[in-house]
Amino acid sequence: MAEFILRRILQALLVLFVMTVLVFFGIHVIGNPVDLFASSECTKACLDEIMVNLGLDRPVWQQYLIFLGNLAEGDLGRSFTHGVPAMSLIWERFPATLELAVAALVIALVIGLPLGFYAGLRPDSWISKAIMGLSMIGFSVPIFWIGLIMILTFSVKLGWLPAIGRGDLVTVFGVRVSFLTVDGLRHLAMPAFTLSLLMMSMVIRLTRAGLREVMTSDYIRFARANGVPEYRVLGWHAMKNLLIPIVTVLGMEFGGVIAFAVVTESIFSWPGVGKMLIDAISVLDRPLIVAYLIFVVTMFVLLNLVIDILYSLLDPRVRLGAGAV
């Protein structure tokens, strides 16, 4: 077991190292940030001074070695435009993105599970076919289009919901959240629903497919033969086994939602890390862009590492199979 965990940790560190190389050198290909935020009246000497102050006068490989040294100390550099540590900006904006992602996950489960459950129990009904047809919206329709339609409908035409921002905030354990206020919930509704559509579609389809498979299993037949009430067969025996693949897939999708909420946050001006990334890209704020990408990569690597370890604890065949490779 210890050997399996050590192997996974070493693989995770290798992935992180490779991604730092790709991210750092890739971001240096897209242009010189000094050209964007320096004054048009700045002379050649002025530009050279700015380059020296920002550490951009050195060769790229030297900048990378300095970056690695700082990374080992938990320092991902200072934002060019804000003049503060890049990670402090990310941690400042991350609660807003996390709140949006959690709200989207809750909406996806609350709506997706019952619809998928019904579609699995009544696969031939017209309602089930309509549910499965509508579930394709989350896979096929672009998020930005859905977001714009919702703004035009519920904000511009009907005036029911605000289109931008987080609304009124309250502080809980030092973290500012919006879902605990009525105005905050109104601001959260549209971006959270927009972000939830892909996960909701996945939940519907996974629930339907999983339920149809579970209902033909031996333990369901035995439970029914022993006179277990149908509500208990469905609500306990079927649901307990049905949630395993759903939780597994949504665990990875949740990381993706946090990382790629850029479009939703931009449309609704939600002040999260995705909106911050767009702003950083517009001015080529290299330290902030690199810090965000490294943060996202680390989050995915750690998530995969935790899932691998949990699977090895739940199913010894996983670590035995890995050792045989």
DSSP H helices in the chain: 2-27, 34-37, 44-54, 60-72, 86-121, 126-134, 136-140, 143-150, 182-214, 218-225, 230-232, 239-259, 262-267, 273-282, 286-314, 316-324
**pLDDT confidence of residue 324:** 44
Q: Give every CB contact of residue 287 below 8 A, 6+ residues apart in sequence.
A: 76, 77, 78, 79, 80, 86
The CATH code that applies to domain 86-282 is 1.10.3720.10
| Residue 232 phi, psi (nearest 5) | -75, -35
Q: How far is CA 273 from the centre of its chain?
A: 11
Strand partners, 177: 170
Rounded to two decimals, the pTM is 0.76
pLDDT digits (tens, 9 = 90+) for 118-162: 887 787 888 888 888 888 877 788 888 888 998 999 989 988 888
Instruction: Considering only CA atoms, give the Rg of the chain.
Output: 24
Domain boundaries, the chain: 1-81+286-325, 86-282
Token pair listed for 51:
């380059």
DSSP 38: S
Percentage of the chain beyond pLDDT 70 is: 76
In angstroms, the CA 194 to CA 260 distance is: 13
**Residues 61-72: tens digit of each pLDDT:** 777 887 788 787
For residue 33, pLDDT over 70 is answered with no
